[in-house]
Amino acid sequence: MSAAGDNSPTRAQVAPLGAGRYRFMVCVVLVALAVLVGRIVDLHVIDRLFLQGQGDARTLRVETIDAHRGMVTSRHGEPLAISTPVVSLWANPQELPVDDIQRMMLARALGMDLAELNARIERYAEHEFMYLRRRMTPLDAQPILDMRLPGVYAQHEYKRYYPSGEVTAQLVGVTNIDDKGQEGVELAYNGFLAGQPGKRRVLKDRKGRLVRDLHLIKEAKPGGNLALSIDLRLQYMAYRELKAAVDENNADGGTLVMMDVKTGEVLAMANLPSYNPNNRAELDANGLRNQAITDAFEPGSVMKPLAMSAALETPKFSPETVIDTSPGWMRVDNFTIRDFRNYGELSMAGILLHSSNIGMSRVVLQLEEDAVWNRYHALGLGQTPGTGFPGETTGSLPTPYDWSDSKRASMSYGYGVAVSALQLASAYTAIANEGKRMPPSLLKLSSPPEGQQVMAPQVADDLLHMLEAIVQPSAGGSRAVVPGYRVAGKTGTVRKVTQAGYQQTAYRSLFAGIAPVSDPRIVTVVMVDNAKNGDYYGGLVAAPVFGRVVGKALRLLDVLPDKKEAVE
């Protein structure tokens, strides 16, 4: 029993207050639970797509899978251009260590000094990507990756390598640092060689490191392999002999083209100056051009057999027709045309043998005005060769409109018209192939093309034997003689042309020939540019290159000797 005056509350008096607190707390919990459920619904239902997209944007990446670039090979499958795997190191400047010791280790591994590395990092400080070093071999890149420095990553790529180096540089061409064709066949067939890159979806962490490879979006399609028409044995030999001649004669450069008479395939194509496509540190821009296809020049006397073919097609002329070239000079339209000396009366074969400008002029001036133009055009001059090579020249063949007699005469002996070495070689296939000209091909052919009949077979045969008389021990083409084989050809010497006109002391030396005569297999054109060691005539400078190259080529191609004294 409580004492009188005791005012302390009883259990019954405080119970209602305790019950209210309980109900209040229950309500608070229910409200919080409702908010939490609402938030969960909001995140997983209402904002699900938005939030998932934000998350994917931070972790999911679509990466490109590089396609392996196809090989370029010779006709026998030897590699001329191949792609090898390399590693490019890149970095996120914002993640790189700031410690000088770690940066010094990275700089040394990259082959640079610390100041250079710091300057590069500072330049890209606001970016999340910069290359440290591109196209390293996996062996060189691995020690840097093993350092496990934050912010340093690897990117796997391919680098183009050219096993034959400068020997095929202008023909094969090069790719840039991104493995895209920039010159030559690499550029002409870039789409075919490059293939199609693939794509894959990957999961990465916030530092860009690969967590998981999720799935393949598109499979990479490797590029196709391209077989060129050249025979690498002949190519090496042609380049070596041409280089020796350029060095021996202190020339500015040279070009050699060898074609298969029956198919039009280019078996060798050499140019000087050249360059090493595997080391472009000291690249000479002049060496980039494939002069055999892209450069046109006045060919001089090597055009005389082609012009004469037009005359032999008419009833006015035959191989026995005699032309009086006395007195060794003539005036045409106030221009004087001269021979080396007065040759007197010459047969058509004699005109070619002595390379008589007077004889050719008098023959051509008896033909229709457009006769020579029509023949040159049918032989492919003044038109693109159709190889698809970047920058191939059409040469120059002026239209026969209101031509003067002097213009017609000069074109008959190779002035006033410009051709490339490839065009000239293709034109000579008509003489070697019974009057049928073969279009040139830089690719290996599965079957020979049809060709174009541009002169009568008898005319081609007559010309072939006329040209054989030039390549004899006592004739102007004596240095082109090939032991054991019958050879036909024509020399040419022409003044170089600049913006100031014809040069008095600069010449191009040429020889165009066919072998063997009994069953022609190859046509070869040699041009040596501006020989400066005294001799500059085609018979003295270019013909010896032809003789050495063709002699070795015939043996490499297993062509049987056809000289009687060689087989008896």
Predicted local distance difference test score (pLDDT) of residue 2: 47
Say which DSSP state 196 is in: B
How far is 293 from 436, CA to CA, in rounded Å? 21
Predicted local distance difference test score (pLDDT) of residue 252: 95
Amino acid making up residue 230: I
Q: In this structure, how many other beta carbons lie within 10 angstroms of the beta carbon of residue 366? A: 13
Bridge partners, residue 269, by sequence: 257
Omega of the bond leading into 390 within 30 degrees of 0 (cis): no
Predicted local distance difference test score (pLDDT) of residue 262: 95
User: To which residue do tokens 């040596």 refer?
Assistant: 528
Assigned superfamily of 232-567: DD-peptidase/beta-lactamase superfamily (3.40.710.10)
Query: CA angle at residue 515 from 453 to 257, to 5 degrees?
Result: 80
Q: Which residues are catalytically annotated?
A: 301
Q: What is the 3 state secondary structure string of 315-330? A: CCCCCCCEEECCCCEE
How far is 559 from 36, CA to CA, in rounded Å? 93
Q: In this structure, how many other beta carbons lie within 10 angstroms of the beta carbon of residue 116? A: 12
Instruction: Write out residues in the chain with pLDDT < 50, as ranges.
Output: 1-4, 12, 14, 566-568
C-alpha 540: how far from its chain's center? 32
Predicted local distance difference test score (pLDDT) of residue 210: 55
48-85: pLDDT as tens digits: 666 555 555 555 666 666 778 999 999 999 999 998 88
Q: Domain segments of the chain: what residues?
A: 63-122+129-227, 232-567
For the structural domain made of 63-122+129-227, what CATH number should be given?
Answer: 3.90.1310.10
